[in-house]
Amino acid sequence: MTERDAPLWSGRFSTPPAPEAAALGRSLAFDVRLGPQDVEVSIAHARSLEDAGLLTADETARLEKTLREVGDEIAAGAFEFHPADEDVHSAIERAVTDRLGDVGAKLHAGRSRNDLVMTDLKLWLLAAHRRIEDGLVRLLRALIEHARMHHETVMPGTTHGRLAQPVTLGHHLLAHAWALARDLDRLHGWRGRASVSPLGAGALATSTLNLDPTRAAERLGFEDRFANSIDAVGDRDVVQEFVADATICATHLSRLAADVARFSDEALGWAVLDEAYSTGSSMMPHKRNPDVAELARAKAGRVLGDFVALSTVLHGLPLGYHRDLQEDKEAAFDAADTLEITLAALAGCVETLTFDPEPMRNATLAEGLYTTDLAEALVKDGAPFREAHRRVGELLRRLETEGITFNALSPDDWTDLGLPDGAALLDADRAVRARAIPGGPSPQSVLQQVDALERLLAARA
């Protein structure tokens, strides 16, 4: 192996790595996507070296020009990687040194791959965060628009997957929207903790070269610089938190997707999927399958797997950098990629979804939806709730025994129950209007929630 092909750290060793050892440690296949970030971080570091009097202005300019050329070649797929390139970081530095000689060899002064890699990864995650946030906002707006349009559309709400009480479609959709708004808030909080530059921490104890990590952080757009160099290179909580937030968000998307699939089931007929977001069957010509919703439902398991894998790698590691930490990237990349594409597909699916209010209203004719209203009407007349609950339950048992419905009850039957106007309570529009407290399913409350969510999104713009 020539000196040019040897790893950066080869001076300490008399023999090259065993081929299988090199293959195990080679991360270029997945960390090559950090190339753009590595170029920017290297340029910022070169300017720090210039500030410290270790590079001339001409040397810094030459380094920046060559770094950008290498970055462009990698982006275009024209860059020639060598067998000794363990990762994209060493590949870029090797190429710059090949082209600039001693000037390129000066670039690594005062830095380690430990702080370089973490700085690159943070910048990549911050960029992915912005795309994910945009996807969340798009999906939120689609839910808000449907909720506004259907703030009076009645439907049966369920618990345990069984009929429970009447709600409005707008209220149901906004339940998903509020969950996604919390995801947005979580990611916003993560961003503040993530926007801390590790550059300058070195391998773990900074350097003696009088570099300024605060200035480097400013150049890279971070809000702050590291407070402790060991923590800066050895902790991956910012990656773990990102994947945890992605897991929670993917879980919310999965639940929304489950409702999309259920609502568009022909047996219910509550919604129709746009053809662009459904697929056919290779055997059954009539099928219109909710594949986007089904895949979005499943992706939560994949992102959860990323979180479990990453957490398993991180737990129990002593302070400082360990090569175990190389395994953080694939989990982070996969979680971000999966969440981003799922958000885009599900947002398009929801945007183009068409709801049919008539079968929803027909489903509210199920009389069991109104038993709570009957019991609460008795409470308003002074009955203790347990007594009211028992009386309505006994009436239900009688109806089941006799094989009749509430509609078969005579005015005397209602009077015997203590509710002369009980039949009037069996109405979905009345039931949702009666639940007009903030956060409830009434049309008024739905529009209040819509306004609140709109204000939340406007404040983040």
> If you ran DSSP here, which 8-state letter would residue 403 be given?
T
State the pLDDT confidence band at 382, using cuts at 50, 70 and 90: very high
Are 173 and 140 spatial neighbours (Cβ–Cβ below 8 Å)?
A: no
Q: What is the per-residue DSSP string for 167-234?
A: EEHHHHHHHHHHHHHHHHHHHHHHHHHH-EE-TT-TTTT--SS---HHHHHHHTT-SEE-S-HHHHHH
The mean pLDDT value of the chain amounts to: 94
Long-range pairs, 275-278, Cβ under 8 A, ≥24: 276/348, 276/352, 277/345, 277/348, 277/349, 277/352
What is the model's pTM? Answer: 0.93
Domains assigned to the chain: 16-109 (1.10.275.10), 127-152+171-199+226-355 (1.20.200.10), 365-460 (1.10.40.30)
- pLDDT score, position 312: 97
Structural contact between residues 124 and 135, judged by C-beta atoms closer than 8 angstroms? no
Instruction: Kindly indicate the confidence band of residue 281, based on its pLDDT and cuts at 50, 70 and 90.
Output: confident
CA–CA gap between residue 105 and residue 150 (Å, rounded): 65
Give the tens place of pLDDT for each residue, 24-71: 888 888 899 999 999 999 999 999 999 999 999 999 999 999 999 999
- Predicted confidence at residue 166, as pLDDT, reads 97
Task: Give CA–CA dist 236/117, Å, rounded.
Answer: 12
Contact 93, 104 (CB under 8 A): yes
Percent of the chain with pLDDT over 70: 97
CB neighbour class for 265 (10 Å; exposed up to 12, middle 13-18, buried from 19): exposed
pLDDT, tens digit, for every residue of 217-228?
999 999 999 999
pLDDT at 6: 59
Closest listed residue to residue 259, CA positions, set 368, 135, 157, 367: 157
Q: Which helix (H) or strand (E) holds 154?
A: strand 154-159
Residues taking part in catalysis: 160, 281
With a cut of 60, say whether residue 259 has pLDDT above it.
yes
354-355 and 271-272 strand pairing: antiparallel
pLDDT at 7 over 70: no
Residues in CB range of 261: below 8 A, 6 or more apart: 290, 293, 294, 297
1: pLDDT confidence band, cut at 50, 70 and 90? Answer: very low
Residue 275 dihedral angles phi and psi, to the nearest 5°: -60, -30
69-117 residue pLDDT tens: 999 999 999 999 998 899 999 999 999 999 999 999 999 999 999 999 9
Report CA 36 to chain centroid distance, whole Å: 23
**Which string of b and e fits 294-313 if b means at least 16 CB within 10 Å?**
eebbebbeebbebbebbeeb
Torsion of CA 77, 82, 87, 93, to 10 degrees: -90
